[in-house]
Amino acid sequence: MSGSDHRTAAPVCLPEHVAIIMDGNGRWANMRGLPLLAGHRAGGEAVQRTVRAAIRRGVKWVTLYAFSSENWRRTPGEVADLTGLLRYYLRHKVAELSREGVRLRVIGDLSRFPDDVQNEARLAEKVTAGNDTLVLVLALSYGGRADIVQAAARMAQAVARGELEASAIDETVFATALQTAGMPDPDMVVRTSGECRLSNFLLWQSAYAELVFLETPWPDFDETHFDTVLDIYSRRERRFGARPVCK
> Among all residues, which ones are annotated catalytic?
23, 71
The span from the CA of 241 to the CA of 246, in Å, is 14
Dihedral sign from CA coordinates of 34, 45, 18, 225: negative
68 is in an annotated binding site: yes
24 is in an annotated binding site: yes
198 is in an annotated binding site: yes
70 is in an annotated binding site: yes
132 is in an annotated binding site: no
23 is in an annotated binding site: yes
The span from the CA of 50 to the CA of 42, in Å, is 12
61 is in an annotated binding site: no
234 is in an annotated binding site: no
72 is in an annotated binding site: yes
204 is in an annotated binding site: no
In one-letter notation, the amino acid at residue 82 is L
**Residue-level length of the chain:** 247
191 is in an annotated binding site: yes
Residue numbers in the known binding site for substrate are 24-28, 40, 68-70, 72, 74, 191, 197-199
Residue numbers in the known binding site for Mg(2+) are 23, 210
Residue numbers in the known binding site are 23-28, 40, 68-70, 72, 74, 191, 197-199, 210
